[in-house]
Chain A
Amino acid sequence: MAAEGTPLLELEGLSKRFGPVQALDRVDFTVSAGEVVGLVGDNGAGKSTLVKAIAGINPPDDGTIRFEGREVRIHKPQDATELGIATVYQDLALCDNLDVVNNLFLGREEVAAGPGVATRQLDEVKMEHETADLLSNLAVTIPSLRSEVGTLSGGQRQQVAVARSLLGEPKVVMLDEPTAALGVPQTKQVLELIRRLRERNLGVVVISHNLVDVFAICDRVFVLRLGKAAGEFKAEDATEEHVVAAITGVGDGREKGHEQQDQERRNQPQEGEEERA
């Protein structure tokens, strides 16, 4: 599924450095509505940095971000949320002691009308109703909405976390390693859920180490290597070998000797300094 018209989210020349480390180096990246993009790369390739830059946790040093065609600035997580960018982190950030309904509405509880307003009384019935609607829309099945999240399986917890990110009606959802540490049937459930996000015409970014999963759901695969864009593939045209080659930086025609790589790394900080000067 190729991008049509203006992409939903468009990054141009995004750079970020942490001290001497150039974590992101002039990365261009796009996501369109109804598209699932896999973001892959080795450890330290800059995947998380890229997601955190978009999510407003670590704003980039340089580069432009366009959302629905207009240039935007994302300095803090709230900026991203207000634009309609939701992020589901790997640790899910769920309260195990609260039930599904309460986790979904955590921090945005519905307050009951009537005399309860003064005490900010919870409207449990409304929240449970909306939870049931949302989960059935996503075809997520959970034994009871009132069961504690801590008693759910890993796959169910992941699905609850994804469902929660949808409450704010985002346009782009970024998922950090959604299938890590899940068993086969649970992975299947989560991938199924990601497909339904695409059906809802959301732009989805999936960070993953698991190329099988990436090929199973993604329309496009975007490879980062040492902070730079190292290849972009249409999932239908590419094979795992192509992607692995891009991730490791061997055998894709851009092969470089070790000397050259080291040279490049040594040069990076200097380049950055020049830019700043």
Chain B
Amino acid sequence: MSATDAATAEESTEGRSTTGQAIRRLVQGDLSSVRVVLGLVVIAIIFQVQEERFLSAQNLTNLMLQITTIGLISVGIVFVLLLGEIDLSVGAVSGLSAAVMAVLSVNHGWNAYLAIAAAVAVGASIGFLQGSLFSRFVVPSFVVTLAGLLAWEGALLQVLGKTGSLNINDPKITGLANTFYSDTVGWIFAAVIVAAYGAVLATGYRKRVSAGLADGGALPMIVRFVFLSAIVIAAVAILNSDRGVPLAVMILLGFVVGMEYVAKRTTFGRHVFAVGGNAEAARRAGIRVNGVRVAVFTISGSMAAIGGVMAASRLFAVNQNSGGNELLLLAIAGPVIAGTSLFGGRGSVWTALLGALVIGSISNGMDLLSLSSAVKLMVTGGVLLLAVLVDAVARQQRQTSGRV
């Protein structure tokens, strides 16, 4: 996470770090990422006990590839959730955008990068359109994007034409999900990530010290740094022992880190949180509330398109099922499971990655155990319900214990 987060955590514990408080904060979501990591450990243990392939390097690499699409779409969903809105069209948009890319690349012989850019442009335009309709006419986003879900699914069928499916053969497109880096490159990635994270933490801390705002010492930051470094090194070691670090994982990670920066460190991100927290207060503070809303839905559409491109690349094809099935619900469920509130104003882009990992692990583990779709759907539904209940309980707790 970020240096500011570390400082925040540090300050809020100041003077009242009893165990009771710690437990309450765990429930109330301040420590929701810890909660999710614990959940992941439990999931891993359960599946590992029953199927020893679960934690193998090969399966973990597969898992990372499986979650790329959901993770990318969830990145956009996080922004929509932060507003307290919902975007039900992301699945259909991802399918349609991928189909546009496939048609341009396969039927019209477009350059791969131009075709991908066109796909993202389609996603962004759709998001812009839906965001504008939602904010201009004050229609619930639920309804606008539900209409979108149907319309864009129709558009997908239209674009794919009679055959209903297109095989992608441009290696530049299929390479996105099927490229693995050598061990050396993998370790270079690890070194760069660890060094960059350390540098960000250190400069942030030095700035606070020089401004006289440092409190509680550097220990929590060091703990964070060691923790993250250990995860990065372990991940690269595991991925290297199979096929190597996949390009897809780096793409997902890049978007998560980049968008987390946008959400937490920029003026725009702060305005998203403000609109999600209290739109009227944001409006009175001079924030262009509708502008923020349109921008957020544009981000959501763009991320859906990027996710769709990755899915097409992994499948080597686009068909009538692209972006369909439970993709939409899983992309929304992921961040909620990992602690982004459905009620707006609370969450982080990291929950897109963590949530995709939780959902991906469950689905992957159940596949390994060859469970039926019936069981898989019910379990996934149960996990989503649990996550929403935890979110709602945390919210109630905040409301009752919040205003002292």
Binding site for B on A (CB under 8 A): 77, 91-99, 102, 106-109, 111, 116, 119-122, 124-126, 128-129, 132, 143-148, 150-154
Indicate the size class of the contact surface on chain B: 35 or more
Q: Which residues of A contact B267 (CB under 8 A)?
A: 109, 111, 120-122
Question: Which single residue of chain A is at the shortest CB-CB distance from B287?
Answer: A107
Among A94, A111, A126, residue most surrounded by chain B Cβ atoms (within 10 Å): A94
Per-residue CB contact flags for chain B residues 189-229 toward chain A (1 = under 8 Å, else 0) read: 00000000000000000011001110000000000000000
A125 near B287: Cβ-Cβ < 8 Å: no
What's the dominant secondary structure at chain B's contact region?
helix
B282 in contact (CB, < 8 A): yes
B280 and A93 within 8 A (CB)? yes
Whether A98 and B14, one on each chain, are in contact in the complex, defined by CB atoms closer than 8 angstroms, is no
Contact present for A151 and B345 (CB under 8 Å): no
Are B277 and A98 closer than 8 Å at their CB atoms? yes
Query: Is B274 interfacial (CB-CB < 8 Å)?
Result: yes
CB–CB B7/A107 < 8 A = no
Q: With A106-B274, A154-B403 known to touch, is A146 a contact of B265 (CB < 8 Å)?
A: no
Q: Is there contact, CB below 8 Å, between B398 and A150?
A: yes
Does B23 count as interface, using CB distance less than 8 angstroms? Answer: no
B301 within 8 A of A: no
B314: chain A residues within 8 A (beta carbon) = none
A128 touches B213 (CB 8 A): yes
B12, B14, B276: residue with the most chain A Cβ atoms closer than 10 Å: B12
Among residues of B, the one whose C-beta sits closest to the C-beta of A126 is B211
Q: List the B side residues contacting A146 at CB < 8 Å.
A: 7-8, 11-12
- Quick one: which of A99, A102, A151, A152 has the most chain B CB within 10 A? A151
Chain A residues contacting B398 (CB-CB under 8 Å) are 150-151
Interface centre among B268, B278, B346 (most CB of A within 10 A): B278
Interface status of B261 (Cβ within 8 A of chain A): yes
What A residues does B15 contact at CB under 8 A? 143
Give Cα A91 to B265, complex, Å: 28
> Contacts A147-B12, A150-B398: A119 and B278 contacting too (C-beta < 8 A)?
no
The residue from A106, A120, A124, A143 contacting B4, defined by CB atoms under 8 A apart: A124
Q: In this complex, which of A77, A92, A125, A129 has the most chain B Cβ atoms within 10 angstroms of its Cβ?
A: A125
Check A107–B282 contact: CB distance below 8 A.
Answer: yes
Contact status A121-B265, CB under 8 Å: yes
The 8 closest A-B pairs by CB, nearest first: A107-B285, A97-B345, A95-B277, A97-B277, A93-B281, A107-B286, A120-B267, A106-B285
Given A132-B213, A144-B12, 9 other A-B residues pairs in contact with their CB atoms under 8 A = A93-B281, A94-B281, A97-B278, A98-B277, A106-B285, A128-B213, A146-B7, A150-B403, A154-B403
A268 to B249, CA, bound (A): 74
User: What does the 1/0 interface line of B369-395 toward A look like (CB < 8 Å)?
Assistant: 000000000000000000000000000
Chain B residues close to A by CB (< 8 Å): 4, 7-8, 11-12, 14-15, 207-208, 211-213, 261-262, 265-268, 270, 273-274, 276-278, 280-282, 284-287, 344-346, 398, 402-404
Chain B residue nearest to A120 in the complex (CB): B267
A residues near B208, Cβ cutoff 8 Å: 125
Docked-complex contact B266 and A95, CB < 8 angstroms = no
A–B Cβ pairs within 8 angstroms, 13 of them: A96-B278, A97-B277, A97-B344, A108-B285, A109-B270, A116-B265, A119-B262, A119-B266, A125-B213, A144-B12, A146-B12, A150-B403, A151-B404
| In contact, A122 and B265 (Cβ under 8 angstroms) | yes
Find out whether the CB atom of A106 lies under 8 angstroms from the CB atom of B287. Answer: yes
Task: Determine the chain A residues whose CB is within 8 A of the CB of B273 once the complex forms.
Answer: 95, 97-98, 102
**Within the assembled complex, what's the spacing in Å between the Cα atoms of A236 and B59?**
82
Q: How far, in whole Å, are A77 and B282 apart by their CA atoms in the complex?
A: 14
Shortest Cβ gap from A270 to chain B (Å): 37
Give the contacting residue for A94; candidates B8, B278, B402; CB below 8 A: B278
